[in-house]
Amino acid sequence: MYKEETGTGLLEYINRLRVERSATLLLSGTPIAQTASRCGFASGATYIRVFKQCKGVTPGKYRELRPRSETEHES
């Protein structure tokens, strides 16, 4: 029913929200395992898989790449 109304599955929507929240935590320096737990993922492996599906990179790679691009824009 939800998918018929929105065009996206409920779990997909929830996971997108979790990943967006987790991206903020990652950039604040929160460890990946703690980030996964705080954002409602039952395991680190599931978190990494879902994060990569949403963002195209793993959480660790996201954290490596993101601050550099933000720093360049501030200069």
| pLDDT value of residue 6 | 85
Domains of the chain, earliest start first = 2-74 (1.10.10.60)
pLDDT tens per residue, range 62-72 = 999 986 544 44
Say what the pTM is.
0.81
pLDDT tens per residue, range 10-58 = 999 999 999 999 999 999 999 999 999 999 999 999 999 999 999 999 9
| pLDDT value of residue 67 | 67
Give residue for tokens 């997108």: 16
